[in-house]
Copies of this chain bind each other. A is one copy, B any other.
């Protein structure tokens, strides 16, 4: 199929995937760039490949050829990609022993960067609170650098979920600027969940009360805090390299 008009109904449908409600309705999302499309393809999630008319990218799936103008319309970047795809959302899998819980992270760049670091440092499942920024937001996806297909990601109400984890003897680890343990000298746990709070407020009081240990990162006392993706990555790095 070759489409030249951006008013084409099929293109209009695809363009709607920029909005969360259509991603939720169709259970699909839009990705762009060769690297990430290949990652999605390997996972069997590509439903439709969208290519610039002369582009060669022979994958075994339905392919729509379009003009540069249409790709520019569909792209969420200033520089468009010649390769895009409509992709099925990732299926939830059972969670394992090393969890990262994100309690209302709001910035898409932070979220994507955290996913990338979680893959690098051996987390098997990321748990998102329902109010966390949408995993399928184009900027989140771009910041993951394709890593979102390499980790299990589930959405849960955090408080009841943590209560269940505690019954199963998971260590629930929070963060605190004071009164905590230096992550450098923290213990090794076979089952744990590291809980990271939102950029502005940190973790909620209710979640804080459920933690059995609090970690901090030793740094210059004149500095109030690190970027949340940086802080999370350093904690994960330390827990991984024990």
Q: Does A109 contact B (CB under 8 A)?
A: yes
- Name which residue of chain B comes closest to A107, CB basis: B109
A117-141 near B? 1/0 per residue, CB < 8 Å: 1011110000000000000000000
- Name which residue of chain B comes closest to A109, CB basis: B109
A223-234 near B? 1/0 per residue, CB < 8 Å: 111110110011
Give residues 88-133 of A contacting B (CB, 8 Å): 109, 113, 116-117, 119-122
Contact present for A223 and B113 (CB under 8 Å): no
Contact present for B241 and A218 (CB under 8 Å): yes
Q: Chain copies in the assembly? A: 2
Q: A222-B150, A234-B237 are in contact. Are A227 and B116 (CB under 8 A)?
A: yes
Q: How many residues of A contact B (CB 8 A)?
A: 30
Interface residue from B150, B227, B241 paired with A229 (Cβ < 8 Å) = B227
Complex Cα distance A225/B170, Å?
29
Interface residue from B109, B122, B184, B230 paired with A220 (Cβ < 8 Å) = B122
Complex Cα distance A218/B239, Å?
12
Instruction: With A145-B225, A218-B241 given, name 17 new contacts (CB 8 A).
Output: A109-B109, A116-B226, A117-B227, A117-B230, A119-B222, A120-B223, A122-B220, A145-B227, A218-B240, A219-B237, A220-B240, A226-B233, A227-B229, A227-B233, A229-B230, A230-B230, A230-B233
Residues of A within 8 A of B (CB): 109, 113, 116-117, 119-122, 143, 145, 147, 150, 184, 217-220, 222-227, 229-230, 233-234, 237, 240-241
